[in-house]
Amino acid sequence: MAFSTAGRGPLRAEINITPMIDILLVLIIVFMVVVSMSQEKGLEAQIPQPANEKSPPQPERTIVIQVAWAGNNQQPSLKINDDEVKWEQLHDRLSEIFTGRVERVAFVKGDDDVDFEFVADAIDIARTSGVQRIGLLTRTGPETP
């Protein structure tokens, strides 16, 4: 507080707000520094790596499990991308295919005459073999007799 000593009139008290403004500015700077240090900077990025000259050929990406009609009172036949597979070998074959893959997606295609029970069995075996996403393929186009 400052007092007037000029001799005229009564004494007046005046508030000096300069120290208060200094404290306020210091607090603002401290809060700005704390907030800027607490935020993470940058984004995670997956940068593609250059291909090796001796890289093996890429396997076919789309895996289609075909459940084909084999006749009355018979278990349907199986194919994985046009390769014949027995029901007992389906789990091992799919596990082998999806061992080195990042994308674990397969499609199941069943003939019209096949009971859905066999399609569901193929889906179940695929799920236990490491396939994470399974799609069902349908016929697209004009129906043939």
Domain assignment of residue 108, yes or no: yes
Q: What is the domain extent for residue 94?
A: 64-137
Q: What is the pTM of this model?
A: 0.54
Domain assignment of residue 100, yes or no: yes
Domain assignment of residue 95, yes or no: yes
Domain assignment of residue 26, yes or no: yes
Which residue spans within the chain are E strands per DSSP?
Answer: 2-3, 13-14, 64-68, 77-80, 83-85, 105-110, 133-137
> What are 9-52's pLDDT values in tens digits?
677 788 888 889 999 999 999 999 888 877 666 667 777 777 67
Q: State yes or no: pLDDT of 102 exceeds 90.
A: no
- Looking at the 3D structure of the chain, how many domains does it have? 2
Domain assignment of residue 98, yes or no: yes
Domain assignment of residue 44, yes or no: no
